[in-house]
């Protein structure tokens, strides 16, 4: 994640030192359908208002508009004949009110936020949302910060978690809880009006003794945790606070989208298509501008204008660069995959299903509903783009991953940073792992790999120590015992490799491509039996169950965000 500029942190520190004298005011968070009562009106004619939020992907909207809040003639949007007025609106309920009243035909939010509003919007056929474009995935900009005592996801059970009402983190939290066997009903939710920068934010709530965790944006997470380490209690940090999970690891959880009113889409389909076309072109061009940095003639203007429109200051250069860096900017192929690829486990339809499950648990929806997408002809939208080929990249440097894992293994710290883990068992002398026997386990691994693309998945083989113990009891010499231990490590590594290869093949047969570099295989041998360690040797299993339980492969989802060199630049 990108380090926040010191000026921003100092300003935030000053703000919080003043504001934290007042306790945060918690709010109720019923379903939006019971809160928003704005009468539905037709969309106003003339210049079209387009909402933005304070997020790095919105830089492309600003750029496509001519680095201006009002469309300039030579801009991408201007050349397509559009006439737009960009307005930042970070309070989503206000966006919904503007959308219903006809002030704008567009909604800008996360897919979770669109789902939160769906019941309200579906009450009138004119305002049913049609999702038209995915801008980004959060890839470092959002985090769950926890206080000491919470080491992994399952430790959240029964804890109190603060988050913004109707904000971008509701489905993020729900996804994490679901993946570790919990739900939104497993925790106590405390809702705040604002996301950042006031007394009434999740960050402010973290200073309260009765709050255990908070869903926050990265600048607030860094402040709470003494720069992303462990909070010391000085300045704005909370003693013992740390980042349990950020979207650098959970990089396929928060999808940012644009939606449009059904009536406007029906009568202005060509305009909406041009809007999407302009955004697709802008994504490519902004990526090129950012890649070249100050050497590109448009870089300074693009960043300064975005700083002004998103952060209210042309001087907030580093913070604007940080906003951009904390997003994965979805391109043409990503949009095709998101909306049309039924095999993609994080596609539009499947995410809506899991999001609505979370919202129902949190009493933010009364029942499931349907949300449409535009069903574009992507061959038509391809015109004018230069990067439309599919590209599969390895996100991890395998050599550096191996070094990190080896170091953690020697230090006995593999469990540190582990979010969740589970295990499968095998029979004596088993060396293959057919998918017919392990289908449910393999499917779980594939789901985790698809959702937490920035986290490492270790596949750790363990062996039964009984053979070693029998040889030692019989008086075998040390060289023989060392050979048995090494043989156990080799066998467990072979099994771990076999499991990984079986998972990748299983996924491939389902038309799912996994990044092989995301998996690290480890052979523990007999060094960590379930029966425990007695002195320097494994304890002998006392029952058949203990004996069989030692023959296992453990899957562990591990954050290695601090090991920055492990990640290859995209």
CATH 3.30.70, domain 158-246, yes or no: no
| Same fold for the pair 33-140+253-381 and 158-246 | yes
Which CATH number fits the domain 398-566, given the four candidates 3.40.1280.10, 3.30.70.1230, 3.30.1330.60, 3.50.30.50? 3.30.1330.60
Query: How far is Cα 433 from Cα 403, in angstroms, rounded to an integer?
Result: 27
Q: Pinpoint the alpha helices (H) of 74-188.
A: 76-79, 92-100, 111-121, 170-179
Helix (H), strand (E) at residue 86: strand 84-88
Among residues 454, 460, 453, 450, the alpha carbon closest in space to that of 421 is found at: 460
Q: Is 384 left (phi over 0), alpha (psi -120 to 50) or beta?
A: left
How many angstroms separate the CA atoms of 367 and 324, rounded? 35
Annotated domain spans of the chain: 33-140+253-381, 158-246, 398-566
pLDDT by residue for the chain (570 residues), tens only, comes to: 344 454 444 444 444 444 445 799 999 999 988 888 899 999 999 999 999 999 999 999 999 999 999 999 999 999 999 999 999 999 899 999 999 999 999 999 999 999 999 999 999 999 999 999 999 999 999 999 999 999 999 999 999 999 999 999 999 999 999 999 999 999 999 999 999 989 999 999 999 999 999 999 999 999 999 999 999 999 999 999 999 999 999 999 999 999 999 999 999 999 999 999 999 999 999 999 999 999 999 999 999 999 999 999 999 999 999 999 999 999 999 999 999 999 999 999 999 999 999 999 999 999 999 999 999 999 999 999 998 777 666 678 878 888 888 888 888 788 777 889 999 999 988 889 999 999 999 999 999 999 999 999 999 999 999 999 999 999 999 999 999 999 999 999 999 999 999 999 999 999 998 999 999 999 999 998 988 999 989 999 889 998 999 999 999 998 876 554 554 543
Structure pTM? Answer: 0.89
Q: CATH fold of 33-140+253-381, please? A: D-Maltodextrin-Binding Protein; domain 2 (3.40.190)
Place of tokens 């009984």: 466
């Amino acid at each position: 994640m990108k380090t926040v500029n010191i000026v921003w942190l100092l300003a935030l520190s000053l703000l919080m030192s003043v504001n934290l004298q007042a306790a945060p005011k918690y709010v109720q968070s019923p379903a939006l359908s019971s809160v928003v009562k704005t009468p539905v009106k037709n969309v106003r004619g003339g210049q079209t208002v387009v909402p933005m939020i304070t997020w790095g992907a919105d830089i492309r909207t600003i750029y496509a508009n001519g680095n201006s809040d009002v469309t300039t003639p030579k801009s991408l949007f201007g050349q397509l004949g559009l006439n737009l007025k960009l307005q930042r609106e970070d309070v989503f309920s206000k966006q919904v009110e503007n959308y219903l009243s006809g002030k704008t035909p567009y909604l800008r939010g996360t897919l979770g936020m669109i789902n939160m509003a769906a019941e309200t919007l579906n009450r009138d056929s004119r305002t049913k949302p049609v999702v038209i474009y995915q801008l980004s995935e959060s890839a470092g900009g959002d985090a769950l910060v926890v206080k000491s005592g919470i080491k992994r996801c399952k430790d959240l059970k029964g804890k109190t978690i603060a988050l913004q009402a109707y904000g971008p983190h509701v489905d993020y939290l729900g996804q994490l809880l679901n993946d570790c066997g919990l739900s939104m009903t497993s925790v106590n939710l405390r809702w705040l009006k604002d996301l950042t920068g006031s007394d009434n934010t999740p960050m402010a709530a973290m200073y309260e003794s009765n709050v255990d965790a908070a869903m926050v944006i990265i600048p607030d997470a860094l402040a709470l945790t003494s720069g992303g380490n462990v909070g010391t209690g000085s300045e704005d940090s909370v003693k013992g606070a740390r980042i349990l999970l950020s979207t650098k690891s959970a990089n396929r959880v928060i999808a940012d989208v644009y939606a449009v009113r059904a009536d406007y889409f029906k009568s202005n389909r060509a305009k909406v298509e041009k809007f999407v076309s302009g955004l697709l072109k802008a994504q490519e061009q902004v990526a090129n501008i950012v890649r070249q940095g100050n050497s590109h003639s448009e870089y300074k203007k693009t960043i300064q204008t975005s700083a002004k429109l998103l952060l209210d200051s042309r001087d907030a250069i580093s913070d604007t660069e940080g906003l951009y860096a904390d997003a994965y900017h979805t391109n043409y192929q990503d949009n095709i995959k998101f909306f049309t690829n039924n095999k993609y486990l994080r596609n539009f339809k499947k995410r809506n299903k899991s999001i609505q499950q979370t919202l129902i648990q949190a009493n933010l929806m009364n029942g499931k509903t349907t949300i449409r997408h535009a069903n574009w002809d992507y061959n038509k939208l391809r015109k004018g783009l230069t990067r439309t080929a599919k590209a599969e990249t390895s996100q991890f440097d395998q050599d550096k991953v191996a070094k990190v894992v080896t170091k953690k293994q020697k230090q006995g710290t593999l469990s540190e940073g582990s979010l969740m883990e589970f295990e499968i068992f095998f029979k004596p002398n088993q060396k293959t792992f057919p998918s017919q026997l392990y289908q449910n386990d393999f499917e779980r691994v594939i789901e985790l790999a698809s959702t937490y693309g920035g986290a490492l998945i270790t596949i750790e083989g363990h062996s039964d120590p009984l053979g070693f113990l029998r040889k030692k009891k019989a008086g075998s010499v040390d060289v023989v015992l060392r050979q048995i231990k090494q043989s156990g490590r080799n066998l467990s590594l072979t099994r771990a490799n076999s499991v990984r290869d079986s998972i990748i093949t299983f996924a491939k047969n389902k038309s799912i491509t996994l990044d092989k570099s995301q998996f690290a295989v480890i052979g523990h041998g007999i060094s960590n039996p379930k029966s425990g360690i007695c002195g320097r040797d494994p304890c002998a299993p006392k029952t058949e169950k203990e004996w069989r339980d030692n023959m296992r492969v453990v899957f562990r989802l591990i954050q290695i965000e601090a090991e920055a060199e492990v990640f290859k630049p995209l």
